[in-house]
């Protein structure tokens, strides 16, 4: 596969968050390393950071009231109902290049962000 194939997005689901193929592959690899098949990838927005809101991206075994879940080829992504409006249309990618490494969130709802990129408004 080429790098352009790795960054192809899967169609945006009901909760509005999409996961690229590269991100889904990385999540599956991390879950395999942990030996866990009961975890979901939770994406949330919380108050904090220098711009007012911060992203949270972590594995969670819980499924809470109001959670919206979508499966991306074996990776279940859950978003709580309070975070859905802030994340609608957002795309999660994973980069592993010499200049960038890690998960990134491209969010069309973010009006601005801080210099470190960890918070937005």
Give per-residue pLDDT as tens, 54-93.
Answer: 889 999 999 999 999 999 988 999 999 999 999 999 999 9
* Count of the separate structural domains present in the chain: 1
d(CA 6, CA 9): 8
pLDDT band at residue 117 using 50, 70 and 90 as cut-offs: low
Global pTM reads 0.77
Give per-residue pLDDT as tens, 85-99.
Answer: 999 999 999 999 998
Q: Range of 93's domain?
A: 3-120
Task: Please report, for the domain that includes residue 92, its CATH number.
Answer: 2.60.300.12
pLDDT of residue 54: 86
Task: Identify whether the C-beta of residue 52 lies closer than 8 Å to the C-beta of residue 109.
Answer: no
Residue 49 CB partners (closer than 8 Å, separation 6+)? 114, 118, 119, 120
Cα 106 to chain center, whole Å? 9
């Amino acid at each position: 596969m080429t790098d352009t194939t790795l960054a192809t997005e899967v169609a945006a689901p009901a909760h509005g968050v999409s996961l690229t193929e590269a991100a889904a592959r990385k999540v599956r690899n991390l879950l395999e390393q942990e030996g866990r098949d009961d975890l979901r990838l939770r994406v949330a927005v919380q108050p904090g950071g220098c711009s007012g809101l911060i992203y949270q991206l972590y594995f969670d075994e819980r499924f809470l009231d109001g959670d919206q879940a979508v499966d991306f080829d074996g990776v279940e992504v859950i978003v709580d109902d309070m975070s859905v409006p802030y994340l609608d249309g957002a795309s999660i990618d994973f980069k592993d290049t010499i200049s960038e490494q890690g998960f990134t969130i491209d969010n069309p709802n973010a009006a601005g962000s801080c210099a470190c990129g960890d918070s937005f408004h």
